[in-house]
Structure 1
């Protein structure tokens, strides 16, 4: 089972209000974009947001979830900077964000492309399907995360798998010529982001049909592996408070859609 950092231990604050899906054009991050509350209980989500998916499995479940989560507000790539400052805010320091692979807490304003800064990591590598930074998969903050510039470069567009040599600049992360293994604390997060992308982007909106497969070295194909490992990571590292809160901030303040595998981790096995 994955280890947890102490800043992930905030208690869950659940509100029983029903959830409403919003639409429109995203604005820059609002001033009150603080990660301190939860939108609804699981039961309320099932009765409202997920009502057309509950009880289904396999291809029917995947199709239902695709329809649900495709109702979203889309951000520009420049808006992603401000969005990540809200979604990945350090609960222990509201001036900082928590970087995905290193777990380092760093100033929100120390972002850019220089060594030691943080930048925008596409967890589903943008070359896998050639969507770049176009509005859509290239700006979907369910899989965009703040990461250390150098670690982001080391990961590159590699698929995910176990093994390799440990990164000296990011202990707990491993890499080899064709794959990247994130630290234990975010293995499940990575898996659920990849599987979200596979459900959200099905080739019906001018972008490629993104799908997981059970291999690495996928290159520019719209595939990401390694599915068997991602499923294992999702099971061994279930959603924690930080990840659940992030899902709520995205839903409440930015895209107004959810990652269903954070709300229902069991749906990973129900589809794949």
Structure 2
């Protein structure tokens, strides 16, 4: 009888573990297994098509990038995003915490705003840096749960940003005055401007037309107020030339590289503009005047 109870307890523990991760990680966070091993990552192999097409015509190069970064990509559930972000945005100085995007502070992973905890404005939730109302309002759409553009953010700061376009200027946000806001735009703190720009470039390229998935063609445009009509879910976001400017002002850093590696392990694909920041010039060449984008020569 005792052996039976022991076996039952072990089975119950294993079964429970297969449904939810440890509550010390975060609330309502399912177990998420790795799909790739970063030690096996070889840039020349992963970007073989892109490197072969580099220097040729832009359409072919863009298609080659899409081919490389879509291969092996796992579509996560929205619940799995909670768990994924505890790995991708882990505080390198404290493995029990995550770093929040707009405030830059470190808070416990298990202070996630799931369920009743969503009422706590100082907890973190899942910020769609490319707002889901700009093209993919359904959880079944791949972009909705693509963690390349999802980041932990303070709940109240996430609400303050809303679905605004990215651009310079505005009134300092009361909760963190390093972020600025207007009716239509949001300027994040300087330390993450490049990070955000490269996430937007990824989304613009990854979810191009004719990709054969349940996503529209996402387009970065050099404009603001890109989704003026509620419910239209127009697949546009701005402001392109500002994002290119931010890309050069805030180069790729170690946190971004580590995050890209973690996403590769849990989602199976990479952001090419973190691995190859010079490709921004190639993909968006001629889209902005020299007066808008700093000369890098």
TM-score of the aligned structures, taking structure 1 as reference length: 0.83
Match of 2:256 in 1: 243
> Is residue 96 of structure 1 aligned with residue 108 of structure 2?
no
Residue 206 of structure 2 corresponds to which residue in structure 1?
200
Query: Does 2:228 correspond to 1:227?
Result: no
Residue 221 of structure 1 and its aligned partner are, at CA, apart by 1.6
Distance in 1, matches of 2:31 and 2:157, equals: 27
Aligned match for 1:146, one of 152, 157, 161: 152
User: Per-residue deviation at 1:203?
Assistant: 3.4
Q: What secondary structure sits across from 2:281 in the alignment?
A: helix
List per-residue Cα deviations over 1:81-114 (Å, max 9, x = no partner): 0000000000000000000010010000001122
Tell me the SS of whatever aligns to 2:48.
coil
Instruction: List alignment gaps of at least 5 residues for structure 2.
Output: 1-29, 228-232, 285-297
| 1:120 and 2:117 correspond | no
Contact 2:49–2:67, Cα closer than 8 Å, also in 1: no
1:46-125 aligned within 5 A = 47-54=44-51, 55-56=54-55, 58-71=58-71, 72-112=73-113, 113-114=118-119, 115-125=121-131
The answer (yes or no) to whether the contact 2:224–2:237 under 8 Å persists in 1 is: yes
Deviations 1:173-197 (A, max 9, x none): 1010000001000000100101101
Tell me, what secondary structure is at the counterpart of 1:124?
coil
1:177 and 2:190 equivalent?
no
Change (3 A) 1:38 1:256: closer
**In 1, distance between residues paired with 2:187 and 2:77?**
29
Cα distance in 2 between the residues matched to 1:225 and 1:163: 14
Give the superposition deviation at 1:70.
Answer: 1.3
**Does structure 1 conserve the Cα–Cα contact (< 8 Å) formed by 2:220 and 2:236?**
yes
Quote the residue 1:18 is aligned against. Answer: none
Secondary structure of the corresponding residue to residue 191 of structure 2: helix
CA distance in structure 2 between the partners assigned to 1:228 and 1:267 by the alignment? 15
Question: Mean Cα displacement is larger for which, 141-150 or 60-69?
Answer: 60-69
Q: Which has the larger radius of gyration?
A: 2
Which structure has more RCO (C-alpha within 8 Å, separation ≥ 6)? 1
What residue ranges of structure 1 are gaps of 5+ in the alignment?
1-26
RMSD: 1.9
2:24 is equivalent to residue 28 of structure 1: no
Cα distance in structure 1, aligned partners of 2:32 and 2:186: 31
Query: TM-score when scaled to structure 2?
Result: 0.76
Is the 8 Å Cα contact of residues 142 and 214 (structure 2) preserved in structure 1? no
Residues paired across the two proteins, number:
238
The answer as to whether partners of 1:250 and 1:258 remain within 8 angstroms in 2 is yes
